[in-house]
Structure 1
Amino acid sequence: MNDYYKEYFYEVVNQLSLNEVKILAYLYNKEANSQISAIKTGEISEYLNVSRSTCGRLINKLIIASFIRQVNNSRNYSVYITAFGLACLDIKSDGEMKI
């Protein structure tokens, strides 16, 4: 059964868009890996140069996949990368992210 989970995880990773991977890489590079170091979604929206609503859709998909977690601290919530998100980056970068 373990191979099925692995296969499923790889399938989810392969479905990610370039912008979704960029969000994960941005959080990784900013060391946003806990509630304390979480990054506001407005900052991510500016980095990607997309509207807040587009950024929100991208972030929601990553939250649903458990690649990032949300911290509710105000109107403009923050997010950080999870261990699953780090594993995703490792796969997408062919191990070059040095996680």
Structure 2
Amino acid sequence: MSSADTEAISDERPELLILCGLLGLLTPVVMSIGIVVVAMVSPDYSWIEDTISDLARGDTSWIMDKLFYLNAAGMIALALGAAHLHLGRWDWSLGMFALVFLA
């Protein structure tokens, strides 16, 4: 990391970066917990035979929809944080676009 990159990072106000980072870290945890809870209350779900998309049918479909939206929001938050702290290199831009496309 060059001294210009270090100066750009040290001049930033960290509130947005911290918020985006926390969202990016917490959303997969919440989604994983949600999947386990929904799988436990779904009587016909099998961890071996079914995918998590199978949980999005029946009475629990609205919960899984919200969890999928939350996961996408977490990836967009990571991309927003990366865009806010863009260091100007092409690989940084590629990483931001990859996060948005994954969402």
TM over 0.5: no
Larger radius of gyration: 2
The structure with the greater share of residues assigned to strand is 1
| Structure with greater contact order relative to length (CA < 8 Å, sep ≥ 6) | 2
The structure with the greater share of residues assigned to helix is 2
TM-score, L = length of structure 1 = 0.31
TM-score, L = length of structure 2 = 0.31
